[in-house]
């Protein structure tokens, strides 16, 4: 919202230096600063409020170890700090005309509400089980349906496979700015009419100028560019985008970048080899829907499992989120997308503002959550962060990199699956359940071995950084 106010003031008064607010990178910097400030300021007051109302965590100290005994009664539901420090800066500095921004905000808030209800039942209703699993799963699947449906059918998400290498970026943007667009990315993604005032006497001798002027002139009854306002309709925008950059790729959403293979784009309609029998467009959408449901549910639960020792979930999410922010920015930039040979995803660069708020919120939360923790995030924070990471991965078409990019979360979840499966198998076969790990999830195993939790947290952070760097390396290792 501040973004629009400052942009409006710049257009009205042409204030020196105010044009910088149009740069995504600058707004991302402001977003992370605001997020850090909000989390630190809100955190102290919220912790005092939680303590006053005796909203504390029940800790299984005898199961995990004596070091956890002192944590009993530590305020929980601190995820509210994270939610505030993500949502507020994004609303202030994000471009709210962007479908990606609204969808990721909805996903974060949605999962935050589910987690809040779970925490509320545990704390106020004194029910250790919290929200019943079937209701939690229903909420996660409901969000998955909304995310998949929006990405499959909303025009903001129907990108173009081409990287626009046929046109010079500088010249193209100059032409587009002459009729009121900020750049090619805005032209591709924004719907609806806009009134612009072209500069006097500007003449361009390239194909982009000719295309833009011809289409806008036709839409306005042949009127030439004068000082008066020229209406650029939604239909004109679609025609301009189509002629300059090619038609929308309807299969764009249910395709994704395949790691380690150059020039290969994975199409979900090929998964079951039924595309010769079933319409590939229908099959691709169905499979993509199932993938979205699985990823949103799995990643949100994975972060929830990781939230077991001080600072681990928040710090790891900040590292993974920073990696996804880089992917979002390069995917939304024509030049970088073309150079790296990845899908050009119009408008996705705006997600950098959101990711900056997410990283800032997690780092700010560590101010109070690092060992020894003054507050726990609870399911309010862990489910929201997990949902956000899952949705971001889908938006930037890096869902196939999740086992690497989110390797810490993946390992934590896998340890639980292995432990439970092996215990059930041995109990059925030998009449006595046996365990592979001393305790699951994995971080508790290392605690039982005798490693201090602060050392476990730091080592997991280092592993997370290494895995994010490996994910970056896959852009060139193809």
What is the Cα–Cα distance from 16 to 166, expressed in whole angstroms?
A: 34
Per-residue confidence (pLDDT) for residue 272, from 0 to 100: 73
**Which residues of the chain fall below pLDDT 70?**
8, 11, 54-72, 155, 158-250, 263, 275
The Cα–Cα gap between 453 and 88 comes to 32
**What pLDDT shows up at residue 205?**
29
Which are the contacts of 371, defined by CB distance < 8 A and separation ≥ 6? 309, 310, 311, 453, 454, 457
Q: What pLDDT is attached to residue 190?
A: 36
Tell me the C-alpha distance between 382 and 441, whole Å.
15
Contact 95, 350 (CB under 8 A): yes
> Which phi and psi angles does 230 have, rounded to 5°?
-115, 125
For 9-75, give the DSSP string.
HHHHH--TTGGGGG-HHHHHHHHHHHHHHHHHHHHHHHHHHHHHTT-B----HHHH-GGGGGGTT-B
Q: Would you state the pLDDT for residue 75?
A: 85
What is the per-residue pLDDT for 66?
57
**Domain ranges for the chain:** 2-160+283-473, 169-245
Q: Percent helix, strand and coil across the chain, each rounded to 5?
A: 65, 5, 30
CA Rg value for the chain: 25
Q: Give the end-to-end CA distance of the chain in Å, rounded to a whole number.
A: 41
What pLDDT, on a 0 to 100 scale, did the predictor assign at position 156?
72
Are 230 and 242 within 8 A, CB to CB? no
Q: Which of 471, 307, 396 minimizes the C-alpha distance to 103? A: 396
* H/E run at residue 415: helix 407-430
């Amino acid at each position: 919202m501040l973004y629009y106010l400052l942009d409006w003031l710049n257009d009205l008064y042409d204030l020196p230096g105010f044009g910088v607010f149009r740069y995504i990178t600058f707004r991302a910097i402001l977003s992370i600063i605001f997020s850090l400030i909000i989390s630190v300021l809100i955190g102290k007051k919220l912790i005092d409020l939680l303590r006053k109302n005796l909203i504390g965590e029940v800790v299984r100290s005898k199961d995990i170890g004596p070091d956890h005994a002192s944590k009993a009664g530590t305020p929980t539901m601190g995820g509210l700090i994270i939610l505030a420090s993500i949502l507020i800066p994004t609303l202030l500095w994000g471009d709210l005309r962007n479908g990606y921004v609204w969808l990721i905000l909805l996903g974060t808030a949605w999962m935050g509400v589910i987690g809040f209800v779970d925490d509320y039942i545990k704390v106020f209703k004194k029910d250790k089980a919290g929200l019943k699993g079937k209701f939690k799963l229903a909420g996660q699947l409901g969000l998955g349906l909304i995310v998949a449906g929006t990405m499959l059918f909303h025009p903001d998400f129907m990108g173009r496979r081409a990287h626009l290498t046929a046109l010079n970026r500088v010249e193209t943007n100059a032409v587009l700015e002459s009729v009121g667009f900020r750049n090619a990315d805005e032209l591709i993604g924004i719907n609806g009419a806009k009134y612009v005032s072209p500069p006097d006497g500007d003449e361009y001798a390239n194909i982009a100028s000719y295309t833009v002027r011809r289409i806008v002139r036709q839409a306005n009854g042949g009127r030439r560019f004068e000082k008066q306002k020229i209406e650029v309709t939604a239909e004109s925008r679609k025609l301009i985008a189509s002629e300059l950059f090619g038609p929308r790729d309807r299969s764009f959403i249910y395709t994704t970048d395949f790691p380690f293979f150059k020039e290969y784009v994975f199409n979900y309609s090929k998964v079951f080899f039924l595309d010769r029998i079933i319409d590939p467009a229908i099959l691709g959408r169905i499979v993509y829907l199932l993938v979205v449901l699985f990823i949103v549910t799995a990643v949100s639960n994975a972060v929830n499992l990781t939230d077991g020792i001080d600072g681990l979930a928040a710090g790891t999410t900040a590292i993974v989120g920073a990696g996804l922010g880089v992917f979002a920015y390069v995917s939304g930039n024509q030049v970088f997308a073309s150079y790296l040979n990845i899908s050009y995803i119009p408008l996705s660069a705006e997600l950098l503002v959101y990711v900056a708020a997410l990283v800032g919120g997690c780092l700010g939360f560590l101010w109070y959550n690092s060992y020894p923790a003054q507050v726990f995030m609870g399911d309010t924070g862990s489910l929201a962060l997990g949902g956000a990471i899952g949705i971001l991965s889908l938006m930037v078409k890096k869902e196939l990199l999740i086992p690497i990019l989110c390797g810490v979360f993946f390992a934590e979840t896998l340890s639980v699956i292995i432990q439970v499966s092996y215990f059930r198998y041995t109990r059925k076969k030998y009449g006595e359940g046996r365990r592979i790990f001393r305790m699951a999830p994995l971080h508790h195993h290392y605690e039982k071995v005798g490693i201090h939790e602060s050392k476990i947290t730091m080592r997991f952070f280092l592993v997370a950084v290494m895995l994010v760097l490996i994910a970056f390396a896959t852009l060139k290792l193809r």
